[in-house]
Amino acid sequence: MLERVNATMRLLLFVVAADAVVSVAVGVGGLVTLLAGHRGWPNVLAAASLSWPAVLAVALVRGRRTALWLRERIHNGDERLAAVAAMSQVWLWEATPDLVATYCGPACAEIIGRTPEEIVGRPLFDFMHEQDLPRARAVQAAGVRAGIGWTDVDLRWWHADGRLLSLRGSAVPVLDDTGQVAAFRGIRRTPVSDTGAAEQHRAAASDQIRDVLRHETLTVALQPIVDLTDGRWCGVEALARFPGDDGPDVWFAQAAEVGLGIELEQLALRKALATVGQLPAGVRVSVNASPEMVLHPSLGELLTTSGVPLDRITLEITEHEPVTRYDDIHAALRPLRGRGLHLAVDDTGAGYASFQHVLQLRPDIVKLDRSLLRNITSDPACRALVTAIVLLALELKATVTAEGVESLDELNTLASLGIDQAQGYLLARPETDAEVWRSWPQHAWPLPQRAIV
């Protein structure tokens, strides 16, 4: 802002000086002509123009005073903001949707012993305790997906001297013109004196999860998946729903943190498979599983004893966490896939090494993350990336499903790029009511117009 004020002042000075030179030259010429006895109106007006530099000079003086006043106010405002930030015991920060820091207030040096320069440009996850990362990433992912922030989330952070601190953080999203999250802005409060608050949080989370496990209060919402070639309802994704406002990402991350992750996933799988009896024979159910659940001995028994034919089950492995034990996953799933189980890679394009992940797992279905669809109708580069994923899927003899489809324009564009199936709010929202599920066979799903993009 100061630079704009200074530039405006320089431009004003130049214009005024140039105008004054011209006015003086014209005015002197007119005055000389008048004194020589030529009284014509042009000469009178020319002589009168000698007063214009004086008017300009007065305006310049007043304008300069105004500009100086404005510059002083801006400078003082910046100084006050800097003083507030410097004196604050609250760590102010701003970051990209992936939580790569773009700004850090100076209080971070006092709180975790690191200067803003050490933090800006790095993911904030780098400074958190490893055991808190699943919950931190779940909160961030939920914030991006729903366009919301978070309030009073306790996480453990590493101080530069090696100490472990508990910080309480809150954030709000910054949305772009399309309503998508462009950044997060937030605060972290001065550290709790010990780890008591974090331990209390984990104890409360453990109690909540045990209560859900004991009373099986977890419910399942189904969202239909539609074939884009003929509008046929071909599948559903089973999505866990929990008491309260927190999403499933937060619940599963907290369960993993307190050692109850496998138990909670087992309950979610049992509940999801129980819905198959209310679906038509040709409709498959997709269930989510973490890499840890895939490698757990209970998965095979749970799937094979559910009474659901394996060829009606699609197992989705999420991509929000890195997978390293690909050989073990292949070994665990080989007998199940041999009996008809379908494997899907979920959230492709949203997390770690998408193409490598797909190549390693060799799934039957590749599911595109909603983030790839945001500009699919207007951005050629986005369409090129989706096309590359479609071509990769063709080489693997896999189909491609687009998640989060919200408009007919998106549906038409995706169909023109070779996407096989779609799910999203355009088709139907996730629904827990079995009566609604039973109405879907008669539903007229929108068919895309396969325009050339």
CATH of the domain at 107: 3.30.450.20
DSSP 129-149: -GGGHHHHHHHHHHHHHHT--
Q: Count structural domains, the chain.
A: 3
257 and 130 share a domain?
Answer: no
82 and 108 share a domain?
Answer: no
d(CA 208, CA 140): 21
278 and 344 share a domain?
Answer: yes
48 and 97 share a domain?
Answer: no
- Residue 450 confidence (pLDDT): 54
Between residues 36 and 168, the one the model is more confident about: 168
Instruction: Give residue 62's pLDDT band: very low, low, confident or very high (50, 70, 90).
Output: low
With a cut of 60, say whether residue 236 has pLDDT above it.
yes
With a cut of 90, say whether residue 80 has pLDDT above it.
no
Are 319 and 346 a contacting pair, CB within 8 Å?
Answer: yes
Q: Which helix (H) or strand (E) holds 168?
A: strand 164-175
- Residue 161 confidence (pLDDT): 85
State whether residue 378 is helix, strand or coil: coil
140 and 226 share a domain?
Answer: no
95 and 141 share a domain?
Answer: yes
Cα torsion 386, 390, 391, 392: sign: positive
* For range 212-220, the mean pLDDT: 95
Contacts of 213 (CB under 8 A, 6+ apart): 260, 263, 264, 267
138 and 270 share a domain?
Answer: no
pTM: 0.64
* For range 75-95, the mean pLDDT: 59
Considering 158, 175, 194, which residue would you say is the last residue of a domain? 194
d(CA 103, CA 107): 12
Residue 165 sits in which domain range? Answer: 91-194
Considering 170, 194, 218, which residue would you say is the last residue of a domain? 194
305 and 230 share a domain?
Answer: yes
Instruction: Establish if 130 belongs to a structural domain.
Output: yes
289 and 433 share a domain?
Answer: yes
d(CA 164, CA 66): 52
Pairing of strands 342-348, 365-368: parallel
Percentage of residues in the chain having pLDDT higher than 90: 44
**Range scoring the smallest mean pLDDT among 58-67, 115-124, 405-414:** 58-67
- Residue 205 confidence (pLDDT): 84
* For range 356-384, the mean pLDDT: 88
* For range 368-394, the mean pLDDT: 89
Considering 194, 211, 243, which residue would you say is the last residue of a domain? 194
Mean pLDDT of the chain: 80
Instruction: Establish if 39 belongs to a structural domain.
Output: yes
10 and 138 share a domain?
Answer: no
